[in-house]
Structure 1
């Protein structure tokens, strides 16, 4: 019977001499077959956690287990984990085949060739085997790096900001491809990123980190619609957060009543998503204090009744006149109740 326990992280602590605690008591499970994204700003501890799992950083306290067996003291090469970094770290003196086959020395020549051919097809580089890696584009080099990481069939693949060195359009394109490749390979993976879109595209579950701790670990859908705290909500792109009052299915806000999933009656905090404000002739009139055009949409800066700033996105010509005020309502699927009493 194949175990599904996968990786178990228990109360893990990573420290650096003379510095702050990089990983502060993290407990996390990554079941077999799952792709988990560690999402957080620079310096939050996500790469330190990944490196500790890989065996590249010493663990000050806690335990790392794979399928129940402790791997905390195993050297890197005995953990059976694959690594992929943001710069790919390809060997410039080897061609594509030579790079992918680097970790396959224990196989016969025929088996190596067969495995390399499988991986070239998997990453969409069939026919590239004899190409020098220095002649490849950035995206192609990252595909070769991914194929090399997958070649030995690692039981866990660790990816540290693998697309961060690429431009945004290519990064967005490759994120979807990388997700499909990892899922097709059936590999358990941890994906470190500071990019929200990458995390939501690639992962089946996302763990938000801050200050060396996990703030929330959940599916992308639940993470977005039910952030565990105002801090998580704001990091994901919600904001502002306003006081409201829940009464049955309706939540009374400074911008009118909005129907939301059942919450306990009483004072609540309501986080507004990037598209929470919508034009509504019967809504609340707000002053416009600025505007810009972005990706074909006009963005109006408005002031809420409580004095906070927010953005209303509306289609429109860049040359159209902007009124001094606008009436708005709330889109129910773009707001979330966050824990904490109204202030």
Structure 2
């Protein structure tokens, strides 16, 4: 597989702060590669370096086979970038926005117009191309943003938290558009705070923390590093959460008070389910739901970075043996 992006030992400092500390990253061509990490891990800094918006202090960075420091102009002609905030003009229509971006990229009036029509059709916006963007839904605006980032038909597309603030329908629309791009051969590097998004879209994922890559693999490979199956128990009465956790026993228990949930390893699956049901019944503790499941990407993230993703409150259970 051709390497579309290579970062080799990349360093970047802001004064005394070390944003990247020897980051290594390899992205195969025609794939979606997710980059995940806690806030401040260096994700956006890495994207800005790869997209030539920021110069790194040390190390090597190549995008589409081109060194980003020595051949920045050529790199810019081969990439697209969708940042965290909308770049389109809300007062203009969708088609006018795309034509404007085309002219900024020196496509010429005729080519800019035809490219705008192609992209509006591709992203399901042809019927709304003359409507002012302020009248678009969140998902439509983000699809138009995505279309604008593709005005030059780039080889590599950087998506920096592309669905932040969108409702589930808007996120699904962007996901569909990204899958379509990769099906056409575009390489996508995706940073996101939504781990289900990376799980759905990414062929491979790099977890970075403290400016370094701490793990890399497919979503399933990263989940496997957490361990085996787990059992989740949701109680009817949150006040009995710690008591129920003590009954389950063992190491690596987690409690989520807001959701009245206990999580525990279940290496023997059905036997663990039977033991749990019997123990709760004997103690007179009512369960609302009991599920045996595979580890999630959230759990892999927590295990490998030491920090939970998003704002979910999950804590290690401290119960008597």
Give, in angstroms, the shift of residue 5 of structure 1: 2.8
C-alpha distance 172-66 of structure 1, shift in aligned 2 (>3 A) = closer
**Which whole-Å CA distance do the structure 2 matches of 1:302 and 1:175 have between them?**
40
Is 1:324 matched with 2:285? yes
Aligned to 1:208: 207
**Deviating more after overlay: 109-118 vs 58-67:** 109-118
Q: Which runs of 5+ in 1 are unaligned?
A: 228-232, 234-270, 280-287, 293-299, 315-320
Aligned to 2:164: 164
Is 1:137 matched with 2:134? no
Q: TM-score, normalised by structure 1?
A: 0.68
**Which whole-Å CA distance do the structure 2 matches of 1:178 and 1:221 have between them?**
23
**Which whole-Å CA distance do the structure 1 matches of 2:27 and 2:196 have between them?**
21
C-alpha distance 161-53 of structure 1, shift in aligned 2 (>3 A) = same
Aligned to 1:251: none
Contact persistence 1:179–1:203 (CA under 8 A): no
Aligned to 1:8: 6
**Which whole-Å CA distance do the structure 1 matches of 2:41 and 2:4 have between them?**
24
Q: Report 1:11-22 matches (<5 A).
A: 11-19=9-17, 21-22=18-19
Aligned to 1:302: 245
The alignment partner of 2:191 has SS state of strand
**Deviating more after overlay: 84-93 vs 122-131:** 84-93
| Match 2:88 to one of 87, 90, 100 | 90
Contact persistence 1:291–1:301 (CA under 8 A): no
| Match 1:43 to one of 40, 45, 58 | 40
Give, in angstroms, the shift of residue 184 of structure 1: 3.8
Is 1:277 matched with 2:275? no
**Which whole-Å CA distance do the structure 2 matches of 1:289 and 1:98 have between them?**
55
Contact persistence 1:301–1:312 (CA under 8 A): no
The alignment partner of 1:302 has SS state of helix
Is 1:27 matched with 2:24? yes
Give the helix-richer structure, 1 or 2.
Answer: 2
Q: Report 1:55-94 matches (<5 A).
A: 55-75=52-72, 78-80=75-77, 81-94=79-92
**Which whole-Å CA distance do the structure 1 matches of 2:95 and 2:74 have between them?**
22
Q: Would you say how many aligned residue pairs link Structure 1 and Structure 2?
A: 269
Aligned to 1:99: 97
Instruction: Give the alignment's Cα RMSD to 1 decimal.
Output: 3.6
Q: Which runs of 5+ in 2 are unaligned?
A: 256-261, 265-272, 274-280, 305-321
